[in-house]
Each structure stands twice: as C-alpha cells, then as structure tokens.
Amino acid sequence: MSNAKIVDADLETGPRPRWWPNPFKELKARRAVSRRLAALNPETDYHEVSRLVVGRVFADAFFNDALFTVAYWRQIAVRTIAPVLHQNGRGKTYQTTKRVDDSLLFFGFLYRDGWRTPSAGATIDRLAAIHESFRIPPDDFRYTLSGLCFEAVRIPEILGCQVLSDSEARALFLFWREVGRRWGIEVPEEQAAFRAWMEHYEHTVYERTPEGPGLAVAMGDNFCKRFFPGPFKWLGYTLLRCSADDHLLDIVGQPHPSKAARKVVGLFVRAYAAFRRWIPASSGPQLLRQWNREYGEALDPLVIGPDWARKITPQDRRHAKVGQCPLAAAKEALRESVTK
C-alpha cells in the first residue's frame, strides 16, 4: 500500500530527504503524504492530521517562521503579555533566533508526541513550570493557545485565500485544545466559540504598550535576517505586514501595507499552497530538524529552552494539575500556604 511509504523517524534530525539520486521515488513518497492525509478523519485522527500538515505538507521553515512571527506580534499586542515578554529588556525575545528556534522545537515535540503519552506530558509540565516563573493571567494563556489553534487559518483569510482545508483547520483546533487541557488551560469545547472568544478578547485587551513596537521589530528583523537578508528586508516586512490586519499593525507600531501589496502577497500564498498540495514539502518528518542549530542531534524536550530554565524539570511544576484551570490551582496553592 502506498501509505507504507510514510516513514516516521524517532528523532527527526537525520539527513533531509533528497531529490537525488532518485527524484521520482522521492516525489512518490511526498505524494503518499497527501494521500494519507486525505484518508484521515479529523474528528478522531487530529493528532496525525496536524503532524502531517505542519511537519510534511507545509513544512518549509520559511512558512512556519512567518506564521510564528505574526502570531507572536499578536501576543505582543496584548497589554499584559508585552511586559512579560520584555522582561525589563532581558527577555529572550531580544535573542530572537534562539527564542524562535526553541519555541518551534517545543511545538515540534508536541506535534510529534501529542499530549497523551508520559513523554508528551513531561514536555507540557516542563513548559508549564517554566511559565510559573512569571505572573501570567489564565486568559492570556488561553489567548496564546487560541493563536496556535487559529492563526494558520486567519492569516490566509486576511490575504483572501485558504491554505488549510476545513477538516485540517478542525484537526488543528482539536489538537491544540487537547494540549491546552493537558496543560490545565480551560478551552471551550467548540471551535467557533473559541474563535469568537479570541476575537472578543483582542478587542478588549489589545493596547499599544511602551515595549510592544520594539518587540515587534526584534521579531520582524529576525525573520528578515533569515529569509530576506540585506536589501531584501523590505520584502520580508511586506510579507509579514500583509499577513496582519490594520488593527494589529497599529497596536504593534507597524505601518499598513498598500492594497496592491496585500493582493500580490495573497496571490503568492495562494500559489505556494497550491504547489504544496501538489508536492508536499517533505516525505520525512521536518518538525525538529529545521530548528536544532543550537543542539544538533542531542535534542531533548527536557533540556531545550532559555538558559535560565535549563534546570527546570516537569516535577518543578507547582500549580495546575491535569485538567485544572491555572487560576483555580493558584488559589488552591495560596490556601495551602495560608493553612500551613
């Protein structure tokens, strides 16, 4: 069966699939990814659908970095998130390459491992423990999670095109909803309800902060440094700005692109999506190997991350237990400390 050609490496850091010496074999293997995807049911196979969409079909580093950068601008626009990311100017957002690589590595591990297995649970608990170093309201966690659920759908909407099919968008929502619940974040059951909550939240809490524009430039510059160096920087920024709506651009201090630029970028993204539907980006998993510059083959979700968090383990997680809202957990912890 053609599906047998879909190979899952344990650690996805080996050599990239190559077109040489047998490009036809490689082409067949890539096309097998599309066939496998078409055969899956998003209501039950949402983990595999998400893994194939992100790690195979649209696995280009360029695409994922652009998506992450715009999603990050959305975090920066929230009045309570920007100061936490800024960390008095010490935030790793200013060491952007590492920050982006580490984040995409963590996401890669989650796409690879899901949320149900002990190792996936350990990754989520460690991430939660890292976040306990900051005072973060539960709604902000929910908001960040909503970006992971919906940004890959919203950006093409802004550009007037569609990249993910409705069932892939559904799978992505279900996948991140389960990861979020394992983290302890309360997520609405229904996709439409969560999207509506996200949009309402943006209208309530988006605000220009003193830190916001500087953070947005740090992220934008990092993206351009990688993919649009030197004289092409303006092109990279145009792509990013066209992927954001005017409200977001105003909040993070970025100029609006022209209507013509939005149209051209929309056409480019439409062509990219059509091409990737025809030939997926990779026949082998690409979730980790594009972001492992710092770690090489020694990739471990219990070690990667900011230097200050190296020693933080899943067991250090203080607050939320599985399925518990972080706010309720914080209250419980406070009660415990008072009664001691």
Task: Note the residues at the interface with ligand HEM (CB under 6 A).
Answer: 81, 84-85, 91-93, 99, 102-103, 106, 127, 130-131, 134, 136, 140-141, 144-145, 180, 183, 185, 305-306
CB of 305 to ligand HEM, least distance (A): 4
The Cβ-side half-sphere exposure at 222, using a 13 Å CA radius, reads 23
CB 74 within 8 A of CB 248: yes
Nearer to ligand HEM, 32 or 77 (CB): 77
Is the Cβ of residue 130 or residue 328 nearer to ligand HEM in the bound state? Answer: 130
Residue with smaller CB distance to ligand HEM, 88 or 315: 88
* Smallest separation, CB 151 to ligand HEM (Å): 12
CB of 302 to ligand HEM, least distance (A): 12
Nearest residue (CB) to ligand HEM, 93 versus 222 = 93
Neighbours of 295 (CB within 10 A): 16
Closest contact distance (angstroms) between CB of 306 and ligand HEM is 4
Q: How far is the CB of 317 from ligand HEM (least distance, A)?
A: 14
How far apart are CB 323 and ligand HEM at their closest, in Å? 15
Between 84 and 129, CB nearer to ligand HEM:
84
CB of 92 to ligand HEM, least distance (A): 3
- Cβ proximity to ligand HEM, 57 vs 124, nearer residue: 124
Closest C-alpha among 138, 163, 139, 133 to residue 151: 163
Are residues 106 and 305 in contact, defined by beta-carbon separation less than 8 angstroms?
yes
Our CB check for ligand HEM shows the closer of 17 and 306 to be 306
